[in-house]
A and B are shown apart, each in its own frame.
Chain A
Amino acid sequence: MTTQPAQRRAPKTGRFDNSVVKKTVMAVSGIIMILYLLAHMVGNLKAFSGPESFNSYSGWIRTIGEPALPAQTALWIIRLVLLAAVVLHFWAAISLWRQARRARPVPYVTKKRVQQSFASRTVRWGGLILALFIIWHILDLTLGAVNPVGHDSTPYDRLVASFSNIPITLFYVVSMVLLGLHLRHGIFAATQTLGQTNKRRERAVNGLAYLVAGVITVGFLLVPLSVAFGLID
């Protein structure tokens, strides 16, 4: 059978058209968010030291560097870096998702999974759900707009009010489990994308992915579950 060879397609020349560059943007923005999550988790655990400790920690974040710096400077720097990380992470994900859709225009009638993990399979939809969770989370606990006690309250009051409500706690728990799955695949993938994995390190990298994902998930679940079960009030 003779085939007509297709025309050689000209590659795009932009740095950010390159799929590996997009993946690198995804990896680096992901690492920034993981570092933030670890700091956020430590802050949350102050709830176990009581309302004063929790509220004064929250106040301290807003006054770092005072009086040399105006109020909330550090907070806004952190917020802007995080916003940039979220936007870039999202851009890279959508762009690669669209490329993947173009790459398989006709679906298989039958397709089996050979070795992919649940975490790797759910990373895209899980990420979208997490984006919705973040929006709700800011409206609830940062701004207090959708919080039962409203915005005119202390952070500790908002925390207790939210997690005394069973549906809110359940939504939070589901989101944290999704976050754990997202991190389990994401940490491995970021290490691979940055060219740092090999056969010898594979176990260590997977171990690190499980460890960080596990610590962050459990760390974030401790406070809401303690409120829900009445250990904190």
Chain B
Amino acid sequence: MLSRVADSLYWMSRYMERADGILRMLKINHYASQDDPESFTWRPVLKIFSNLEDDAIADMERNGKAVLQYMVVDRENPNSVLNMATRSRENARSVQDNITKELWQALNEFYHVVRNPRLETSLQVDDPITVLDSLVRQCMLYYGVTDSTMFRGEGLCFINVGRYLERAIQSSDILNVRFSDLSHDLERPTDTTYWKYLLLSVSGYALYLKRYRSGFEARNLVDQVLFNFDFPRSVLYSLNQLHRYHGRLKDEQNGEGYAKVDFAIGKVRSRVQYSDVQTISLSGLSKFLDELNSDFNEIGKALNQAYFANS
């Protein structure tokens, strides 16, 4: 496969995963803002998902409509869902011959839906959840079409490598957003409705209820989002998938590059696999998440050198 094509597939997939993550994040925060209008702030979301200066964040943090407008449809915001959809589609457009027609159409439709001027209006006047849900559905369509139509070859591997790396980053970011409010203290008592929405937004609520019988506790939530082996949005699950799909790219002609990426993935994977909530609460959640973050960057760099450098 052409290096440029691999690069484009990887980014097409990362941007879609990010759009999906942002949409889910906006959704739970909107719920939370309705429950607790007095103390709720959008600051953590804006801090993680935008490049805004502190002043600009201060102006916007209590204005939910402005935040939604900025994060979903603002053309000037490079991290808006609209721009994610545009970039994902541009990447797909340059590799149309390497993806199925169905996949291209799914991305193309998503792009046209987010750009529709009606969306902007209904985000302001109608129920934002309905709007966000309609966009999440577009993302689900993309996932379904990818899984059910794409040929099980190198292309799909790069798509999945991008998807799961991005998802691992997102999941650890979600924890970071929430715990930055709590100074990363796992013992501090918090409002449980927020946890509920967070779990709902990542389809993890039912799993949580079945698994943890002691109500909503921060440490259980961390356990599920970081370490659960079977929860499709946990960091561990994402890393296992990343490892699996990258493993299929093994090729004698590119042994050296492969080994480097494999090393970077293996390193962070074993770090997560052989940790638990107990050890993290001793060494500090903040430190653990920071280290994860820099490990993820290492993987990104290694991928670049091994596969995309030629493009």
Chain B binds chain A:
no
Q: Please give the residue numbers on chain A whose beta carbons come within 8 Å of chain B beta carbons, in ascending order.
A: none
